[in-house]
């Protein structure tokens, strides 16, 4: 199974595609405690963490939000912008001060339409991240709410 570090853009995208995408990055900073997005909100951007930590969480009716995963250096925050309708499937909060590269989803989607090779590379990258996040969410929710937890067989 892939680990988050093997899913970083730097390891998944070819160098020329990284440079192409990074030309459209904007440096941003978030103080600790900042909510980057809420589940159900409009997904119109994404980030790659430079420094700091961000927790992904999931609304659980009648309970506190369940933390699904903690993200750090070079990890992608947000994949929902790539799929219609572009609605966040999780929430995200900075648990430390965060510096990140921010990308406008409409700009990146237009680049991907103009350059199918870039589009394929970005889709493969985000798809790998998405598959990892689904496995992490399943395991975390089993750990929290299943009678015996996720155990080693998951």
pLDDT for 122-144, tens place per residue? 998 899 899 988 888 788 778 87
Query: pLDDT category, 151, cuts 50, 70, 90?
Result: low
Reported pTM: 0.84
pLDDT for 4-58, tens place per residue? 444 567 677 788 888 999 999 999 999 999 999 999 999 999 999 999 999 999 8
Q: What is the 3-state secondary structure (H, E, C) of 28-92?
A: EEECCCCEEECCCCECCEEEEEEECCEEEEECCCCCCCEEEEEECCCCEECCHHHCCCCECCCEE
pLDDT at 154: 47
């Amino acid at each position: 199974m892939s680990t988050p570090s093997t899913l970083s853009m730097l390891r998944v995208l070819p160098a020329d595609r990284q440079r192409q995408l990074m030309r459209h990055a904007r440096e941003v900073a978030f103080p600790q405690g900042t909510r980057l997005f809420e589940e159900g909100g409009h997904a119109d951007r994404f980030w790659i963490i430079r420094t700091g930590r961000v927790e992904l969480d999931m609304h659980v009716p009648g309970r506190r939000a369940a933390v699904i995963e903690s993200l750090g250096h070079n990890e992608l925050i947000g994949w929902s912008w790539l799929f219609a309708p572009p609605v966040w499937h999780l929430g995200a909060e900075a648990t430390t001060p965060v510096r990140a590269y921010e990308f406008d989803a409409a700009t990146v989607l237009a680049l991907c339409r103009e350059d199918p090779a870039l589009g394929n590379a970005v889709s493969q990258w985000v798809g790998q991240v998405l598959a990892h996040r689904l496995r992490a969410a399943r395991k975390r929710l089993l750990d929290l709410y299943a009678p015996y937890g996720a155990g080693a067989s998951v």
